[in-house]
Chain A
């Protein structure tokens, strides 16, 4: 009963961002809100008990076949302690992929992308503390992204069930959908040589946010955040000189709304929404959609537009189709398009990306992601293609 109360409370406490794997919100029957699976209002990060239960047993290989039944039974026995007042978890991602090596070549390299232990503490019903620290941030210093942060933490305050939640701390503003791939065009548009970082991986700022989740089909978020960390990103002004995308002592406002309509057609899951982040003369707008049939197929899409006045405009679009072959094997195809226009340049930068891949839950809490990527930047001759393999341990 206590677990049920905690799951419901977590559902209500956490806000409305989409999950870090938005396709799961369509493919499962727990509901399309991110808070179905994650405590963090940003999506991703520490999982609720419900979220942890939902994926912990999926496995292509029966642990019994390889003599690891006891090990996985012990490992996946629980993720909460002290009457569910403490929840733990982690994400570890290691990847083999090609990395740029100089201006026109790349070489295969191995990278520990993420090693983030999570902790959530709920001493009393109306207060919940959560946070993580990414150990890989310190280990992989040449594979960091501008404005990426090594940690995030916040406190949720919810005095009553029908009132909005107040979240205060150092965390990511609510912008669009949260995906588990930070190279996607809706997060980093393609520049002539390099990327324009829209929402860097693990981006976080000091801020306060209000989330309203009391209506089952509606999620609303609004918050105010500092711009200090994002200010490290420069864009060229109309004369080609670099200017900070936002001022370091500025305040940004971020709003987001998401609708999870009841079933229009029997068995069809769907959601749609949008977000708007603005800081003086820079804004990020996003519109997103997810639709599909539980346990069968999902189609997720997002459109993101950013503009810095008299400087840079970017348009990015992503659509991903996932088919559930079996519960532990999820092949997918993703198409992306990015257009970037600088005020000081006559020629916009056009890029297209195609990704074919599959998530394979080899063992409980072990996901193997295999991808083949084709990136075409139209101003360069030919195209870039590579295989990427990622091992993801999650808990």
Chain B
């Protein structure tokens, strides 16, 4: 009889110990995880100030005096910015963001100015044609990616200055 009582007590104690352990573990996981993830942050590319623009003197970039031509430019000041400029004709340009909209990787400029911009990570290619600027034209791995963004711009042919509107 005593042995039966002892066995029952032991089984109850084991049950309480195991179920208590799982209950406490569940509470710890449920509370610790949000606390941990709350101290995460991203590096930021500060947004350009409203109405800001970059005036680019093309005399400083002789490659862009050729037609057609394409060039990537990285700016640290006044803001961190990476863009790709394609000159299509004497007065026609397309200005692309140089960062892939998928995972933010810097795009490659094609050796041929009429070629596509290529993301080196997943090999997605974006059109540089004036009619379909930034449209995804090659996506060999089928990743979920949108079209590449472009910037508004104006060209002053008398001063040979390209003004790129950042916002």
Contact = CB atoms under 8 A, between A and B. Distances in A.
A141 B104 contact: no
Contacts of A345: 74
Contact of A141 (B76, B82, B108, B142): B142
B141 A241 contact: no
Interface residues of B, number: 41
A196 to B, nearest CB: 9
Nearest to A65: B18
B141 A385 contact: no
A193 B98 CA distance: 9
A232 B142 CA distance: 17
Given A141-B143, A194-B104, A347-B76, A385 B40 contact: yes
Contacts of B60: none
A241 B142 contact: no
Interface in B69-106: 71-72, 74, 76, 80, 82, 97-106
A382 B144 CA distance: 28
Interface stretch (A95-103, A221-229, A246-254, A280-288): A95-103
Nearest to B142: A141
Q: Is the interface of B mostly helix, strand, loop or mixed?
A: loop
A372 B63 CA distance: 45
Contacts of A372: 36
A386 B71 CA distance: 35
B42 A106 contact: yes
A217 interface: no
Interface in B103-136: 103-106, 108-111, 118, 120-123
A193 B71 contact: no
A142 B143 contact: yes
A190 to B, nearest CB: 11
Interface in A368-391: 372, 375-377, 379-387
A99 to B, nearest CB: 7
A240 B76 CA distance: 17
A105 interface: yes
Nearest to B63: A239
A193 B36 CA distance: 27
Most chain A beta-carbon contacts within 10 A, residue among B37, B97, B101: B37
Q: Is the interface of A mostly helix, strand, loop or mixed?
A: mixed
A309 B144 CA distance: 35
A372 B45 CA distance: 22
Given A142-B144, A345-B74, A105 B120 contact: no
A144 B82 CA distance: 24
Most chain A beta-carbon contacts within 10 A, residue among B39, B63, B104: B104
B44 interface: yes
Interface string B36-77: 110111111110000000000000000100000001101010
B40 A102 contact: no
Given A104-B104, A141-B142, A379-B76, A242 B41 contact: no
B6 to A, nearest CB: 20
A234 interface: yes
A108 interface: yes
Interface in A329-346: 345
Nearest to A99: B103
Contact of B122 (A144, A236, A380, A381): A144
Nearest to B36: A387
A294 interface: no
A347 B101 CA distance: 24
B65 to A, nearest CB: 15
Given A193-B104, A194-B106, A103 B45 contact: yes
A377 B76 CA distance: 13
Contacts of A144: 122, 141
A234 B45 CA distance: 25
Given A377-B43, A387-B36, A100 B74 contact: no
A194 B107 CA distance: 9
Contacts of A99: 103
Interface string B4-40: 0000000000000010000000000000000011011
A380 B80 contact: yes
A375 B39 CA distance: 14
Nearest to A376: B43
B103 A381 contact: no
Most chain A beta-carbon contacts within 10 A, residue among B41, B97, B109, B141: B41
B10 to A, nearest CB: 15
A387 B102 contact: no
10 contacts: A103-B104, A146-B121, A191-B106, A234-B108, A234-B120, A236-B108, A345-B74, A347-B74, A380-B80, A387-B36
Interface of B: 18, 36-37, 39-46, 63, 71-72, 74, 76, 80, 82, 97-106, 108-111, 118, 120-123, 141-144
Given A192-B82, A382-B41, 10 more contacts: A101-B103, A104-B43, A192-B74, A239-B63, A240-B71, A241-B111, A242-B118, A375-B43, A376-B43, A381-B43
